[in-house]
Structure 1
């Protein structure tokens, strides 16, 4: 892997990682609920990611629930100390890719303790509030994470699924090391959040479903550029995320070894400035009908 192509990103004052991580949401059954069809293969994919040079592995207590964290702990049992593990609390899994927010401080404290046990760690490198609970002031939810950090159970604090206004409110409470939102070539609702992160040096962790492989029409911008590089559309789309801003750390993830090998192929893919611009401008035509 030529990791020099993607470079690295600082996450908070203590953590620095290469700019493609691994997303653990898809180490579960359908709808991020229940166990994966082949737990051994899922564990092997995480181990392969780290062996290839990935330094950030991201998960959440609601993936499974609890299953993703448990599989990741098994996979990382003998891995290098420079692997950063990120997890999240603040959502209750309902199945079918649906969740309910729970930002109560007492819930977040219990969730963090559970994640520490499952991940077999004394400190969670990056702990992210998984959603803003409309029934709980954001300041109260973040206050619980600040207390966890003061107790040594959390090293850095991040947010997920937020807008610009919520990010600004959060930063009045504490330093925010990362923001994780859904974002890819075709899903650009959080462009404004990304711009704030880029301006202020906050890591932006875009996640996207593995099924979103952007099977482009050959005459689309994505199809043409993929053909030019001898790459798949999914690889080009991932390389575009890396180039989109210097703070992005994309989180591809899957429980299928072959799909992960395809993702790794994006590490050394060099897109030109005109190609990056064309993809950004013509994203709407990227996928075939």
Structure 2
């Protein structure tokens, strides 16, 4: 795929009917900077969330299992933002099972998925969820059964749109035989371009592609060039350049960088205005992953 010089600040119609800014916010780091802790200061996290919405974010990604020491992302979102702005889209994930002590269980079956949706509705204070992702694992052979349980809730009116997280093209096709898929959320970024064929499929079909960990290098050393040079020439931070490159990969990309810092959320959201030159995009495309 060749990165194109698209306008990153243009809105995207999620599911064909929900206009969202292409740079949103991931809520995973609101309870704690790392999912294992330590817990963040609740008022600092509230300020981050409030500032994100002030700066135009209208797409927030969350999950009931984002919690630490009694502080949960869903609880913070409801406390700070409810009653919600009319244009705010809350996307949620179900699939993993997490116990109150923070330990993880086996992936949720259909009954547990339904319980997870109802729990999320209660925590967020909503009658219907805008977008629900089914989080998969690499060799998930029960996609149809599990996705079918969520599709049934969509038919009941509890879910507006369905998505898949951590999916392959094969799993995507399997789910689409059951119900429409409005969004895919996979790990993807400048230094870890996993499953590019999934991004290609989403681009062809107009499905939102929502990369997580797009700012991470996943333990790999980051080459000093050309990232630092491009950042300096544009008067931007390296993180802003990474986000601008990610958004330029396809017009269906919706970035959701998360943070527990007000300064970082401001820096991240400003990346929506960074339009990289074609030669910068080509140099970043050539960076080894």
**TM-score after normalising by structure 1:** 0.89
CA 61–227 in structure 1, closer or farther in 2 if over 3 Å, else same? same
**TM-score after normalising by structure 2:** 0.89
1:25-36 equivalence runs, <5 A? 25-33=28-36, 36=39
Q: Of residues 268, 283, 287 in structure 2, which corresponds to 1:282? A: 287
**Which residue number in structure 2 is paired with residue 232 of structure 1?**
237
**Which residue number in structure 2 is paired with residue 186 of structure 1?**
191
**Offset, 1:193:** 0.6
Q: 1: distance between equivalents of 2:237 and 2:94? A: 34
How many corresponding residue pairs?
Answer: 280
**Offset, 1:151:** 1.3
**Offset, 1:261:** 1.6
What's the Cα RMSD here? 2.6
**Which residue number in structure 1 is paired with residue 42 of structure 2?**
39
Q: Of residues 246, 252, 266 in structure 1, which corresponds to 2:271? A: 266
**Offset, 1:126:** 0.3
CA 250–111 in structure 1, closer or farther in 2 if over 3 Å, else same? same
Q: 1: distance between equivalents of 2:261 and 2:192? A: 23
**Offset, 1:190:** 2.0
Q: 2: distance between equivalents of 1:113 and 1:25? A: 20
Q: 2: distance between equivalents of 1:34 and 1:67? A: 12
- What are the Cα deviations for residues 4-48 of structure 1, in whole angstroms up to 9, with x where unaligned? 642111221321211011001111225414673211111111111
Q: Which residues of structure 2 form unaligned runs of 5+?
A: 1-6
* Bigger proportion of residues as helix: 1
CA 39–139 in structure 1, closer or farther in 2 if over 3 Å, else same? same
CA contact (8 A) 1:238 1:250 kept: yes
Higher RCO (CA < 8 A, seq sep 6+): 2
**Which residue number in structure 1 is paired with residue 119 of structure 2?**
114
Q: 1: distance between equivalents of 2:216 and 2:166? A: 20
Q: 1: distance between equivalents of 2:241 and 2:151? A: 38
**Offset, 1:103:** 3.5
